[in-house]
């Protein structure tokens, strides 16, 4: 299957979105990366570590500013064997559509298309 990775400046946003997705799209792995050392912000190192620890393909969502920049750099430097796609859509709504799509048996490409068709 495909994981959903959430990159947010806020730990609460990332964890709250993860909670929502896990309740609404059971069986889809959701990884929340929020905040930076207990503060608002993002960390390239943390994002890169999460991507390098993946055990399957992943669709990544981000919130604002440096979360996208750090995600882009982490994807560019990724040396693993899994497919990682960044999707530019609202983090809650986009990841919700993708996770529900995956939970109903859609492929990674179909889930991404569902998100892009909506936004």
> Catalytic amino acids?
9
Measured CA to CA, the distance from residue 65 to residue 58 in angstroms comes to: 21
Measured CA to CA, the distance from residue 20 to residue 82 in angstroms comes to: 25
Measured CA to CA, the distance from residue 30 to residue 59 in angstroms comes to: 10
Measured CA to CA, the distance from residue 83 to residue 112 in angstroms comes to: 13
Measured CA to CA, the distance from residue 8 to residue 43 in angstroms comes to: 10
Q: Phi and psi (nearest 5°) for 82?
A: -100, 155
């Amino acid at each position: 299957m495909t994981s959903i990775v959430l990159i947010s400046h806020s730990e609460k946003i990332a964890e709250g979105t993860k909670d929502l997705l896990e309740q609404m799209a059971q069986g889809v792995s959701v990884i929340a990366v929020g905040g930076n050392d207990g503060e608002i912000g993002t960390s390239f190192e943390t994002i890169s570590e999460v991507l390098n620890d993946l055990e399957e393909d992943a669709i990544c969502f981000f919130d604002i500013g440096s979360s996208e920049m750090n995600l882009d750099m982490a994807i560019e430097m990724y040396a693993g064997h899994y497919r990682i796609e960044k999707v530019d859509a609202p983090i809650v709504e986009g990841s919700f559509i993708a996770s529900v799509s995956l939970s109903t048996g859609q492929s990674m490409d179909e889930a991404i298309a569902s998100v892009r068709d909506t936004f």
